[in-house]
Amino acid sequence: MTAQPKQHNQNTYVDAVIALYLKLPDTPVKPSYNDRLTATGFFAQAIPLQTIEAALLLASLRRLSRPDNQPSLSPVRSLAYFAPVVQEVVSSNLPDDYLQYLRLKTRSFVSI
């Protein structure tokens, strides 16, 4: 019976990660089974949601701020696309207000 609260927390975490992912530009309308597995992997690594959000926004901003003379990127098809940036943010020591900066910067490109 003690596994139930952890499972509930995992489901809540996975749902939150998926919601953040689906709000980004150029991502699918619905998550795949593999997207949920990737989010579950982030949970297993105990990566805070704020770190996930920062990584998703950072990667998305990198995509959005490409020079106009560069070819367009194809849409993101999987949450796993963001995994390297998640690991980059995990290993970085970002300033406390960096997530807020990323949120504001992203709003200048799209309405999230």
The tens digit of pLDDT for each residue in 53-98 reads 999 999 999 999 888 899 888 999 999 999 999 999 999 988 989 9
Task: Report whether 39 contacts 17 (CB < 8 A).
Answer: yes
Burial state string for 19-54 with b = 16 or more CB within 10 A and e = fewer than 16: ebbebbeebeeebeeebbebbebbbeeebeeebbbb
3 state DSSP class of 24:
coil
Burial class (CB in 10 A: 0-12, 13-18, 19+), 57: buried
22-53 confidence digits (pLDDT tens): 999 999 999 999 999 999 999 999 999 999 99
Question: In this structure, what token pair is assigned to residue 28?
Answer: 């699918």
pTM value is 0.87
